[in-house]
Structure 1
Amino acid sequence: MKGLIIKKNKDTLRGFVDDRDWDKNPDQIRFKTRLDSSPSTFLPLDIHGFSVDNIIYVGGVVEAEVTELNTNDLEENPKINIEIDTTFLQVVVGGAKELYYYKNKTDRENFYIKREGQLDLLVYKKYIDEQKNTGKAVVIENKKYLGQLTLYLKECPDINSKLKNTSYNEGDLRRLFNYYYECTSTESSFTKTKNKLSFELGAITGISISSLNFTSYGGFEALLARKNYDSSVNFAGGLFLNIGLPKNLSKWSINNELFYSSYNFKDTFTEVRGENNFTITDTELGYSYIKLNNLVRYTYPIGNTFLYLNAGVSNGFAINETNKLTEVFQFNERRVITEERALEDVRKYEQGLLFGLGVKYNRYSLEFRTESGTGIDLNRNLGSGTRRYFLLLGYRFN
């Protein structure tokens, strides 16, 4: 992604950063001046820092408290456990008063302030202490960071009123620093913004190939189960809203579709009982659906192209129905023609399971998808199911 590195002399070099949307702070980065050039690798002490996707990192050697904070893993020792790490720290707030964030490989989070050019650890630890008078074990919190921040932000006279409600997490500490800048009528040079949802709106269109299967449990409905319905090829399409989830470069998303699909099946079944004695049964079943499809999507980048997998559910409501059975009875010279519904009890609401594989390039996408549906029949003597295959072309509006 487009980004820059900040050299030791504070000059900047623009280019492209291999952005991994790091959950744990990186200890090296790869950078290109042009997309077609070879990447260079930089360690935290090689450069002052870098910026990508509106996030700033600075390199440094820091003290890190490594004690577990999970209640089940707490130790019975109040001593601060310090390790020295070399890493790229994330800038949470920049300016006259600065706040930095570091998450190490064991998921322990630490925060830092800068005083006289040095990064100072804001100290916080939880441990278990056994009370002598009761013999019960209680969780004790070492909140030294509150005293450190009292001195660091002392230019704001009522900072203590905010500190007592400030926990050791990024959201609370960022709000505290923002309050400091408001209180002192100064401005920060940078404030990290929270990761937000991303939205893609577009349309999809294509074809569906549908098959309809019946399973007979006896009775007159066995006739339908004996029929051989050819596949139905029809138009399919609709609108989509893809909601990218924060973190991991929005590789995970929720794809929602307002979707139209249909099918139409016809079959003729002839039963011959003798000369000039036969029955011809014509069946036509056709349904059109408006569906709400909800899918979880995982997208993986390969250069400028993106592969994705979909899995989810569909909920469809029939908006149009063709449900007809015509029978011609021929016995010697007598012919009787009857017409009725092929199925009396029909399910107008259909659920289905969706799976898809697709590829995206720029604003366009191409996807192959399969759907297994609950079918249309409600008769206890007959079970039904649908299978659909889709080939869909998509276009993103934004």
Structure 2
Amino acid sequence: MKRIALLFLLGLCLQVSAQKNYQRGLVVLTNGDTLKGWIDYRNWHVNPTSFGFKQDSLGDNVRQFTTTDISFFQVAGDKYLKAFITKDMLPVDFGNLASDSAENQQTDTAFLRVLVEGPVLNLYEVYDFKPHYYIQDSTKSYRELTYKCSWDEVNNRVKTRNYFHSELIAYLTLQPRYDKKLTHQIEHMGYTDKEIAKAVAALNGLTGQSVPYVSNNNKKSLSFYAGAGAIYSTMTFSGDDPYLKAFDFDWKTTPAIMAGVELFSVRNFSELSFRLEVAYSSIGYKTDNLVKRSGSGTDTVHYEIKQRNFTPSATVLYHIVRKEKFRYYIGAQFAVNISRYPANALTAKHQYTTYPSKIDNYLQINNDWPVVNIKTGAIINRRWDVSITANVWGSSVKTDLMHNTVKQYALWLAYHFL
């Protein structure tokens, strides 16, 4: 059953990646008309060439837009502008480098993601198999910032050329105030959206004018949450102990509290999120009138365990449904119960004597023991999180004589502080 559950979880994650994800947005047609509605936003890593659009979020009338139909669109905090560009298509990954003298230019009409808009330079990004960054000055033409990696056949080594450093510094020298600190920043930055956008925004700021738009390139966000729930739990034993062989506790319900932080991606991979969480619970197990018949008579046994758990965990979640105000997820959780036992006592009343036997700390129960769970739930209005956690594996006793299995199901209600 454990293997089936894990295979089901993996298969489900692989089959739902093509789902629709309509979010509020707007498009500007090539004739200048503006349409507001819902765009099928796929958290694009590679710049889109087309997308679905509908003006009614509940309707089925979907229009497919391409670069032929529109000149601009905006969705999920990102702006995309249609432009005719020339791209450097030489690879930059070390496994496929071309020779130092190679050239490969390609023209394209593409949707450029807007990174910065300002009085000196606008900055855009196109990603196909590698990132391309374009600047636009007062001439309104698009110029690719040049970054090349090639194989130097003469010296038998990789050659990297950061031409984009000097291309940006050329605009810096034209400003009324020359910023040496910004020059140093540009000379040492990498070819990434975060570093280049930060430098271009700072360059625009030297004019003393406001920078009207800087995209949010922080692709990861944190969400703190806290909540409470109820845990439904049982414990069963197996082994050769004369009292606890084939012994099990009845199902018990106990309240619990938890708090944590969720790491998720605003763009590109928002279907996945990761959680670090801590929970606290206190549960008591006990049973009466367990009778053990032996050659010496019948014993009536009372056994009680009180357990307090502090449980840190790590969880990976796949968001199957990803709507603006509703998300449904499923995932796997690995946790460690850090447990303390105020009670761990067995009392046996013997048929042959009036005095019962009481043994404290009867079992050697582990203070720290791992748990594997499957978790599923829904986030409503981006804040309310209702979830169920089911135990796949967990054991707190494992000796040569005895072994136990702990089964737990938990219902949680949490609130995300956005």
TM > 0.5: yes
CA spacing shift, 1:272–1:225, aligned 2, 3 Å: closer
State the match for 2:4 in structure 1. none
What is the SS of the residue equivalent to 1:36?
Answer: coil
State the match for 1:219 in structure 2. none
Structure of larger gyration radius: 1
1:340 is aligned to 2:352: no
State the match for 2:94 in structure 1. 71
1:203 is aligned to 2:223: no
The 5 Å alignment of 1:30-69 reads: 30-37=52-59, 38-69=61-92
Shift of 1:159: 6.6
State the match for 2:48 in structure 1. 26
State the match for 1:285 in structure 2. 305
1:3 is aligned to 2:25: yes
Q: Give per-residue Cα distances to partners, 1:98-155, cap 9 Å, x unaligned.
A: 1111101xx2111112252322222322111233xxxx31222344434543444542
Q: In 1, are the aligned partners of 2:258 and 2:280 still within 8 Å (CA)?
A: no
Distance 2:190 2:365 in 1: 58
Q: In 1, are the aligned partners of 2:308 and 2:339 still within 8 Å (CA)?
A: yes
1:321 is aligned to 2:346: no
The 5 Å alignment of 1:1-398 reads: 1-8=23-30, 12-37=34-59, 38-96=61-119, 97-104=121-128, 107-115=129-137, 116-131=139-154, 136-156=155-175, 158=178, 161-162=183-184, 163-195=186-218, 196-216=220-240, 222-246=241-265, 247-248=267-268, 250-261=270-281, 262-272=283-293, 277-301=297-321, 305-331=326-352, 334-341=353-360, 343=362, 345-362=364-381, 363-375=384-396, 377=397, 380-396=400-416
Distance 2:191 2:130 in 1: 12
Q: Give per-residue Cα distances to partners, 1:312-338, cap 9 Å, x unaligned.
A: 22222334533221122223xx53322
What is the SS of the residue equivalent to 1:173?
Answer: helix
Q: Give per-residue Cα distances to partners, 1:365-385, cap 9 Å, x unaligned.
A: 24242252231x465533333
Distance 1:338 1:166 in 2: 75
State the match for 2:14 in structure 1. none
CA spacing shift, 1:329–1:378, aligned 2, 3 Å: same
Distance 1:42 1:75 in 2: 36
Q: Identify unmatched segments of 5+ residues in structure 1.
A: 217-221
Distance 2:373 2:83 in 1: 48
Equivalent pairs counted in the alignment come to: 383
Q: In 2, are the aligned partners of 1:62 and 1:85 still within 8 Å (CA)?
A: yes
Root mean square deviation of aligned Cα: 2.8
Q: In 1, are the aligned partners of 2:243 and 2:292 still within 8 Å (CA)?
A: no
Shift of 1:178: 2.0
What is the SS of the residue equivalent to 2:354?
Answer: strand
CA spacing shift, 1:224–1:62, aligned 2, 3 Å: farther
The one-letter code matched in structure 2 to 1:264 is Y
Q: With the length of structure 1 as denominator, give the TM-score of the two structures.
A: 0.85
Distance 1:68 1:199 in 2: 37
What is the SS of the residue equivalent to 1:335?
Answer: coil
Of residues 107-116 and 248-257 in structure 1, the stretch that sits farther from structure 2 once superposed is 248-257
